[in-house]
Chains A and B, each alone.
Chain A
Amino acid sequence: MRTVLIEMLLASLACMFFAIVYNTPKKELVFCWLFGGIGYGIYYYLVKFCSMGTFANFFGAFAIAILARFTSNRREIPVMVYVLPSVFPLSPGGNMYNACYALIMNNLDMAMTETMKCIKIVGMCVIAILIVLSLPEGIFKNRDKAKA
């Protein structure tokens, strides 16, 4: 459990600095920090303790997207401002680099495995985000009014 918390902290800080690279508004940085940590925490917990494979990415991205949807409705800012930096630890940038590097170094087996892994991860993340984004607006609006 302690490793999960440490990983969450590292992931959330990585997200926050990545959000600065993407020029996120200063007031929204806290949310990117929080959502990035939560999303990666869920992913890491599922991989470590439930021995889940790529499907863990689905739940991580799902949580991020739902949280982002709520906040974007409350603060009236586009959803993607929160989703893109927060999904950074789950996105397969490293796999993509590994695949290309293996291809250049003529290590074709590794190139193929990494490419496939990359496509699987991206597919899972995007499907989760799309499911949440296509939910009707009403679900998020009502809860918002009840809170306010």
Chain B
Amino acid sequence: MRSRLSRHLQSILREDSTSPGLDISAKMLKRGFAAPLGVARAETQPAPISPELNGHQYAVFLLHVAAGIEHALMAQYLYAAYSIGGAQVPPDLREMVERWQEVILGIAKEEMGHLITVQNVLRLLSGPLNFDREDYPFDAAFYPFDFTLERLTLDSLCKYIYAEMPPDWTTPPAAEVKKRAIDASRGGPLHAVHELYDLMIKTIADASLVPDEYFRPETVKQQASWSEWGRGYAHGARGSSLQGDRPKTPDLIIRAVSSRAEAVAALKEIAVQGEATTPEMDQLSHFKRFLDIYEEWQKTLKHHKRFDPARPVVTNPIVEDSLGPEPPPKLSSSAADRNVITAPVTFYWAHLLNVRYRLLLSGLDHALHLAGVLEDTSQPTARGDVITMVFSEMYKIRSIASVLVQLPVRPDTPPEKAAAGPPFQMPYTLDIPQSEDDRWRWHRDMLVASQHILDVLAVMESDERRRGYVAALRESDADFMAVIDRIIARYAKQEVTV
């Protein structure tokens, strides 16, 4: 079942969303838990925390909200990054725009690192993991802005800057960026991510709210580590690999945590990576990197009035189970609307992306349920194999998204006018089976579904290069299904190392 976060969001929502961050002391936080009837609350205090929660549950709840936000940000940043490009970008500006794409993809990767680190903290606190996020229709008000898959525009960029901005940002162009972000959100409330992290850090740091007994250091072996998940990305690896010595970017943060202090440090590190206001971190934060793009874009517009770095991908593309006979509604650029993909070939590519996205999410969940065994890894470990699967799926999502942004969304509209994009639709469930071998069968089911789609695309796709990709993907899936069969057979023989 999807998380129902909005039930308990009152306590952390504030009416004045544009004021500096939530300055809440531990004492105030404790007072925030719903008091017995009749105790009045000052107007300026946040709403009480639900009587259904205790301190530990509240910490887990906040971590769930954080996981959902990191996941949503990641999907939106990926969408914006994949939209970048196209023949309308003037040749003399392509190097700059390529760099922007690399920067935004890098930030998306860092959001992925944040998401994984938040899962590690959940593991430490013996809470359930959360790979869910809000989808359409959007109903979790604490999210920085309404979940919208949209191309990179100055408006969408301003929303990203707003979400990642530090609490005390007032220097130019703060006012214009904030205004533009709020206008682009139809005037709806916006929130900066730091507010949530401040609250989360204070809650977890307080031993009277989350007593020591909830911290489970033995879960470290089930947590994700940089060694397994970092894949060699570190300083300067994002936004700086294509064109020489660009300003350095920070490490991909994936922290295994074994104590309260480590959990708090990891969350602080994530918060800083987002907003990073100190001079030494100036070039490193998401905020600053987005702002650099904004300023460079504004300068470019002085000389190229019609400059547009992104393809005309539609907002919020979705794909339905079948192509109905009725014509779909007109394409809309509103964040509140969804655009149904009806071009037949695109329809299958979009479904292919969804099924691979689901495989990625179930693989992530699976990986963090398996303990790493480091003493003797002379035979393959299920954890290693599932991590490999997750990375493979990331690559596939990248390539399928690259295909989708060049395909028509409607059969009668060329992609130069309106292109599709990766729909990133959430599956009906993110739960995975209980037993290990069934989890692998679960993954295999998705590969089989994917094979069916690829069978259709092998016939329908007319572009030679994309046909080549379909053939390669079919073969690669067949190979990985053989790996899965081998793992299931080992479970049957009780030989597996988990």
**Do A and B belong to a common assembly?**
no
Q: Which residues of A come within 8 Å of B, CB atoms? A: none
Q: Which residues of B come within 8 Å of A, CB atoms? A: none
